Structure 1
Amino acid sequence: MPNLLSRLFGRPPEEKASRAPLPAAGHGVAFYLGGRAAWTSRDYPALAREGFQRNAVVHRAVRLVAEAAAAIPLDLMEGERALAAHPLLDLLSRPNPRESGTRFLEGLYGHLLVSGNAYLEAVAVEGLPRELYALRPDRMRVVPGPDGWPAAYEYQVGTRTVRFDQTGEVPPILHLTLFHPLDDHYGLSPMEAAAVPLDIHNAAGAWNKALLDNAARPSGALVFAGPAGAQLSDPQFERLKAELEASYQGAANAGRPLLLDGGLDWKPLSLSPKDMDFVEAKNAAAREIALAFGVPPLLLGLPGDNTHANYAEANRAFYRQTVIPLAKRTAEAVAQWLGPAFGPDLRSGAGLTLVPDLDAVEALAPERESLWRRVGGAPFLSEDEKRAAVGYGARGGGS
C-alpha cells in the first residue's frame, strides 16, 4: 500500500478507495483567502538543535514525558464496555512495518513537545486505515479553506510536495497541537516559552567550557600607564577597542590571554565569572526549563530536596499533572479521528473511545491502594457500587 515516503520518492502508487466529501456542517464567514498556505513561524530545526540535541535538560525532559506517556496502555471502550480485541487496537499496537506502538507514540509525543505540533498520516485501503505514520512538523504546512479552517495539508521534502485534502470519512491527516493563544493553526512549543532560560543555560555552559579551555583566567581591564598627561590617540583607542571586541569578547574567547602593547597594563576586575556564580544561574535556568515541560526538577537530577519521599511525591505529580493529561487528550483525538472508520461494524452503535489504563501506572499504586481501602470499608455501598467506584463493571448474574 502506498504511504507518504513512496509518494515522495517515486514508488508506483496503488489504487485507493475514493472518499466522498463530508457534508457541510453549517454556514460560516470566510476570514482567509482560500488555498493560501500559512507557514509555521517557529524554526523547528533550530529548536531541535539548540534544545533537544544540545541541552541535556531539554533532552531529558522531552524523553521523560514522551516515554512515560507512550508506556501507558490504552483501553478501547465501546460505550461503557471495554473491548479486548479490535482492529483499531491491532493498528495502534503495530501502526506500520517499521515501528511498534510504543515507539510510534514516543515519536508522536516527541514532535509535539519539541515543535508544539504533531502530524499523523493514515494510509487507508478500502476505506479502513491500515497504517499510521508520524510526519515531521517542519515539513508540513496548513492550507486554510474559505472558512479559515484547514482544508488541506502539504508535506514537502526537497522539491517534492504531497497534498493531503482533508476529505472523506477519515481525513488523511490528524494535526495535534499544544495551546497557542496567538495562532489559529499551529501550536506553541514548551521550548519557545523556555527560550530565555534555554539560552542562559546553553550560554553559561559555553562560557564555562571556553574559560576552562583558556586556562580559566579571570576577566579584567586594560589600563594605559604611559607618561603623565599622555593619552591614547583616537585611532589607537578605536583599534584597541575593535581588537578587544573581535578577539577577546564573548564565550568563545573567555579567558583568552591578551597581547599588550607598551604602556598598557592588565588589571583584573572585581566582577568575574566566578563571582557571577554561573553554576547557580545554570541551575535556576534548568529549573525554569523543567517548569515549562511540566517535569519536577527532582526527576531531572537538579539540586533540591532529594529524598525518597519527595521523589515519590514528585513522580505522582509528574504523572497526574503532565503525563496523564497529555495521554488523555491524544487518545481522545486519535479515537475521534479513526473511530468513524470502524463505527459501522459495532453491534450497539456506540462510539469508540480510547482511555489510558491508569491501573497500569506504577507511580499511582499508592493512590489505588488508598481508594480501594476506603471503598472497601464503606458498608453503605453494594458490591456492584464498590466495583463501579474503582472503575470496574458489575459482576452480573446476581453473584
Structure 2
Amino acid sequence: MRNWLRFGRARAAARGREAGGGEAKASRTGALVAFSRLGRPVWTPRDYAALAREGFGRNPVVYRAVRTISEAAASVPWLVFEDEHEIDDHPLARLLARPGGQRAGAELMEAVYGHLLVAGNAYLEAVGVDGEVRELHALRPDRMKVVPGADGWPSAYDYSVAGRSVRFAAESEAGVRPILHLRLFHPTDDHYGFAPIEAALTSLDIHNAAGAWAKALLDNSARPSGALVYSGGEGGNLSDEQFDRLKKELEEGFSGARNAGRPLLLEGGLDWRAMALTPRDMDFVEAKNLAAREIALAFGVPPMLLGIPGDNTYANYQEANRALWRQTVLPLVARTAAALSAWLAPAFDRPVRLSFDVDAVEALSTEREALWARVGAAGFIDDDEKRAAVGYGPRRGRD
C-alpha cells in the first residue's frame, strides 16, 4: 500500500515564515492570479493529444528530434554529492538507477524529457514506504491538472483517468512533496509550460500537408489532375446518364497507383486538359525542407543531424553534434538535476546535491582532450590544482 511521504527534515521556516516568528511572506500578485480560478483545476490550454498525434505520431522530424534529445539526455550519468563530496553508493543514486516498477532509470528520464518536449510539462510522483522514497513514476501530462490556491501557487494536482481522479497535495507538512512539476518557460501562462512543438505548429502543418499531397499524387498515378471537356453534341452538355458513366469509369479504371500509365480512351467530343500546378511550380520539395528546418530549430536540433538537406551551418557532423549537446541537451539535464535535488533533498539527513558527469559524454571527448592538454601544459600550477581544474578531487592521502 502506497503511503504519502511524511519524513525528512521540516521545511525551513515552515511555509516561508521568518525565523523570528514574523508574518508569513507571500507575493502580493499571487491572489490576483488565482482570483478567478480559486479551487478549480486550470485546464491545459491546448490539445496535448493532437500535438502528440500530429507531431510525434505522424511527423518524422518531430519524432526524431524528440527521440534524439530525450535519449541523449537520459544517457548522462548522475552524480550525487554530500557536502561537496561525491558519494558513489548513495541511496539517491540507487533510486534514480532503479526507480521502481518495470522501468530502469534511463527509461524513466527518457519519458520525463519526452513529456517536456511534447507537452512543455512533466510530472514525477514520489512513493514513500516506511519513511523512505522507494519509487519514482512519470505521469502523463495530459491527465494532470493544476489546482491553484488562494495565494496563486498550486495547492494541489488532480490526476484523472477514465473519469476517476486522484488529488495530490502540492506541499507536504514535512519532507518530500508527492509531485514534482517540471515545465518549460511559458510567457503567457502561470501554471503550465510551453512545448517546443507549439512554436513549430505552422511548419508542422506544412510538412504534414506536403507529405499528404505527395501521397495523394502517387495514389492518383503520379499525374497532375485535370478536366475532361465535352464540346460535341447538341447543347454542348453530357446527359446525366453519360456523366455518371464517365465519372465511374475514370474512378475505377484510371485512378490509383495500380492504374498508373494506363491510356485514357476518349470518345468523340471529349478533350483532356491538365489543370494542376507541377511540383516545380509549387516549389514543393524546398517548402517541405524549409518546414523541416524550422521544426528542428524549434527543438534545438541541428538539421544536419536529422538528415535535412540545405543546412550549411556546421562544417561537419561532429560540430553539429557538439552544438546539440552544449546548447540543448546539457541545459535540459542541468535544470532537471537542480529540480530533482531540491525535490528529493529533504528525504535525507545530510545536504544532497544531484549533478551529472559531463566527462562520460562521448560527443564532448574532443573538448575534454583539449582541456586536459591545456591544463597539463600549464607549468605554473601543481598536480592537485590541475586535477581541480578538470573536475577531479585531490589525490588520495592528501587534503
Candidates 131, 138, 141, aligned match of 1:134: 138
Distance of 1:202 and 1:309 partners within structure 2: 29
Look up the match of 1:391.
391
CA distance in 2, matches of 1:191, 1:226: 55
- Whether the 8 Å CA contact 1:76–1:89 is kept in 2: the answer is yes
Q: Secondary structure at the match of 1:289?
A: helix
Structure-2 residue corresponding to 1:377:
377
Q: Within the alignment, does 1:82 sit opposite 2:81 as a pair? A: no
Which range is displaced more, 300-309 or 200-209?
A: 300-309
Given the alignment, which residue of 338, 346, 354 partners 1:340? 346
User: Displacement of 1:80 after TM fit?
Assistant: 2.2
State the SS of the aligned residue for 2:112.
Answer: helix
Residue 222 of structure 2 is matched in structure 1 by 216
Q: 2:156 aligns with which of 152, 159, 177?
A: 152
Q: How big is the shift at 1:395?
A: 2.3
Counterpart residue number, 1:57: 61
Describe the shift of the 1:311–1:15 C-alpha distance in structure 2 as closer, same or farther (beyond 3 A). closer
Q: In structure 2, how many angstroms separate the alpha carbons of the residues matched to 1:35 and 1:126?
A: 32
1:187 matched to 2:178? The reply is no
CA distance in structure 2 between the partners assigned to 1:288 and 1:152 by the alignment? 37
Paired with 2:220 and 2:4, the residues of 1 have a C-alpha distance of: 64
- Which ranges in structure 1 are unaligned for 5 or more consecutive residues? 3-13, 237-242
Query: What is the aligned-residue identity percentage?
Result: 61
Bigger mean CA deviation after superposition, 293-302 or 19-28: 19-28
TM-score, scaled relative to structure 2: 0.83
Aligned to 1:10: none
Cα contact 1:174–1:337 (8 A) shared by 2: yes
Question: How far does residue 310 in structure 1 lie from its aligned partner after superposition?
Answer: 0.5
Superposition CA RMSD, Å: 3.3
Amino acid at match of 1:63: R
Q: Does structure 2 conserve the Cα–Cα contact (< 8 Å) formed by 1:218 and 1:273?
A: no
**Residue number in structure 1 paired with 2:15:** 24
Q: Which amino acid aligns with 2:15?
A: A
Deviation at 1:264, TM superposition (A): 7.6
The one of 48, 62, 65 aligned to 1:44:
48
Task: Compute the displacement of 1:24 (Å).
Answer: 2.8
The TM-score with structure 1 as length reference comes to 0.83
In 1, the alpha carbon distance for the partners of 2:310 and 2:317 equals 10
User: In structure 2, what is the Cα distance between the partners aligned to 1:16 and 1:59?
Assistant: 36
Matched residues in 2 for 1:327 and 1:397: separation?
A: 33
- Shift, 1:18, TM fit: 7.9
Match of 1:36, SS state, is coil
Distance 1:85-1:377 versus aligned 2 partners, 3 A rule: same
Deviation at 1:384, TM superposition (A): 1.7
Query: How far does residue 391 in structure 1 lie from its aligned partner after superposition?
Result: 0.7
Determine if the alignment matches structure 1 residue 290 to structure 2 residue 296: yes
* Amino acid in the other structure paired with 1:77: F
Taking the aligned partners of 1:262 and 1:198, their CA distance within structure 2 comes to: 47
Residue-by-residue CA offset, 1:268-321 (whole Å, 9 max, x unaligned): 247323421322221111111111111111111122469996001001111000
Equivalent residue letter for 1:176: L
Q: Using a 3 Å threshold, how does the CA distance of structure 1 residues 361 and 98 change in structure 2: closer, same or farther?
A: same
The SS at the match of 1:24 is: helix
CA distance in 2, matches of 1:270, 1:46: 31
Distance 1:276 1:337, change over 3 A: same
